Amino acid sequence: MDILLPNEAYTLRDSGHGMKLERFGNYTIARPDPTALWEPTLAPAIWQAADAIFSKEKSALRGERWRNVNVSEDLWTISCDDIRMRLHLTPFKHTGLFPEQILNWRWFGPLISSAPKPVRVLNLFGYTGGATLYAAACGAEVTHVDASKPSVTWARENQILSGLQDAPIRWIVDDAYKFVTREARRGVRYDAVIMDPPSFGRDPKGKVFTFEKDVPKLLEAVRTILEPDPLFVLINSYAMGYSPTVIKNLLAHILPLEKITCGELHIREEYTQRTLPCSVYARYQDSII
């Protein structure tokens, strides 16, 4: 289990009753988290004083999900290990950053920076670019793929904020599986792959993605674009119904099981030792010490 501790950029202040109270930089927000089934620690008044609260009511209109909004989004940026990202209150309760992912970034970062040659990284389902920018800052050549054009545009804005305008990054708006199969036909190979597939999703053209059906097929395709001795492969998943071992076994279909570790990403609360489980992962690396 990897645990993110409270820090200057992000703090989990409290959780419970299906919600979490978080501080991103200067702003505190409250939003749903279905795993937080326990009792909150902080008083209701502290929760109600949040700068923005996401409504769980199904009757809430798409544009009215957030209430008590006291967030100036033009100024809302935070820095994670020198990667600077702009945040927004989206209609789907997200902000553009999954803070626990910095634990994965800190895992693959040293692998890239200590590699004897430039590392070519493919980031699938790259979202707003955190992993892409972190890998690039460590010296990698990165291909970032996401089916959402707004997400890729957002990621490129984060590239500028992070001062990485000249980093060797390719920004691709495409379906992950289709892109990988085309790269295979072109004979393109990568030293490392990062992938964070959704548990369920729908692309702009309406195509449905399901974890159990599409991830095994995608991994078969990824096998064809990996170098013979890849540096690392990372799968992160928010399909919390699956144990880390499930993700590990899926990855073991294309890479040696003995070189794969797995676990969960957690965030520790500010005032207690309680942790909030966020995602599961499997990590392949060429040599495990």
- 26 assigned to some structural domain: yes
**Alpha helices, DSSP H only, in 18-173?**
44-48, 102-113, 130-137, 149-161
The boundaries of the domain holding residue 47 are 2-86
**Residue of 239, 282, 276 whose CA lies nearest to 257:** 282
Same domain, 208 and 69: no
Would you say the C-alpha torsion 155, 160, 163, 165 has a positive or negative sign?
Answer: positive
Same domain, 80 and 137: no
Residue 58 has pLDDT above 80, yes or no: no
Same domain, 149 and 128: yes
- 255 assigned to some structural domain: yes
Average pLDDT, the chain: 93
Rounded CA-CA distance 75/161 in Å is 12
Number of structural domains in the chain = 2
Q: With cut-offs at 50, 70 and 90, classify the pLDDT of residue 199.
A: confident
Q: With cut-offs at 50, 70 and 90, classify the pLDDT of residue 64.
A: low
Residue 60 has pLDDT above 70, yes or no: no
- 92 assigned to some structural domain: no
> 3-class DSSP state for residue 47?
helix
Q: What is the pLDDT of residues 121-180, one digit of tens each?
A: 999 999 999 999 999 999 999 999 999 999 999 999 999 999 999 999 999 999 999 999
Same domain, 72 and 136: no
Q: What is the pLDDT of residues 1-15, one digit of tens each?
A: 899 999 999 999 999
Q: What is the pLDDT of residues 180-195, one digit of tens each?
A: 999 999 999 999 999 9
Please report the pLDDT score of residue 19 as a whole number.
97
Please report the pLDDT score of residue 202 as a whole number.
63
Q: With cut-offs at 50, 70 and 90, classify the pLDDT of residue 56.
A: confident
Q: With cut-offs at 50, 70 and 90, classify the pLDDT of residue 203.
A: low
Please report the pLDDT score of residue 73 as a whole number.
86
Same domain, 70 and 140: no
Residue 273 has pLDDT above 90, yes or no: yes
Kindly report the CATH number assigned to the domain that includes residue 39. 2.60.40.1180
Same domain, 130 and 270: yes
Same domain, 140 and 251: yes
pTM of the model: 0.93
Using a pLDDT cut of 90, give the percent of the chain over it. 84
Q: 185 or 58: whose pLDDT is higher?
A: 185
Tell me which amino acid residue 222 is. V
Q: What is the pLDDT of residues 70-93, one digit of tens each?
A: 999 888 999 999 999 999 999 989
Q: 284 or 287: whose pLDDT is higher?
A: 284
Please report the pLDDT score of residue 204 as a whole number.
58
Please report the pLDDT score of residue 3 as a whole number.
97
In Å, what is the CA distance from 84 to each residue of 22, 51, 80, 131, 159?
18, 21, 6, 12, 8
Same domain, 159 and 205: yes
Q: With cut-offs at 50, 70 and 90, classify the pLDDT of residue 239.
A: confident
Same domain, 73 and 50: yes
Same domain, 112 and 33: no
Domain closes at, from 20, 52, 86: 86
- 143 assigned to some structural domain: yes
Kindly report the CATH number assigned to the domain that includes residue 191. 3.40.50.150
Domain closes at, from 45, 65, 86: 86
Rounded CA-CA distance 22/16 in Å is 12
